[in-house]
Amino acid sequence: MICGNRDIQFKALKPCSDCNLYDEGKSYRLKDLIPEGHCYELLHSLMPYLLTFENEGWFKWERTRDKVVVCCPAVEANVCVELKKLTSEKPHSFEYRIMEVRGLCGYYKPGMTWQIKQDDFGHLCRHFYNVLFPYIKTGHEGVTITCGRDGGNSRFELTSNELL
């Protein structure tokens, strides 16, 4: 597995009817759909926690309702962060602070902080990103995948997958 972002390009062969984010026949670059400067692996790890906070949930194992510790799955450079919800009104704002980096990470150093807003993901279908993630890690291209949200009716072709 390679740690680091890749230039992921995909074409919407048959867009998902549930989200209406992508136009049929149009190509997209993943780096244009996510907030700039974020590692795809850590962002993928943060997604379920962000969604929980966005829906007013919390994590019982944490001492406060608006914080949680999250680690990315990268073996080469495991990064652990403290994710904090900054606002209680929608759209929510979040901050994550890098607590620890085990290995060599090209994105983060301990003590760095990043902010994310709920609106930053307005052009990214999170269901599609979740299905796309294993292909990002393996370097596949030329495969057709579905977002899974619409019962498997959508079709997206992964057209490019190169290291940035």
Alpha-carbon distances, residue 85 vs 33, 118, 148 (angstroms)? 22, 10, 28
pTM of the model: 0.84
Give the tens place of pLDDT for each residue, 93-145.
999 999 999 988 888 999 999 999 988 888 888 888 888 888 877 777 888 99
What pLDDT shows up at residue 2? 42
Could you tell me which residues are beta bridge partners of residue 102? 78
Domain parsing of the chain, residue ranges: 1-33+123-164, 37-120
Residue 164: pLDDT band (50, 70, 90) is: low
Number of H helices, E strands in the chain: 2, 8
Give the β-pairing of 155-163 and 6-14.
antiparallel
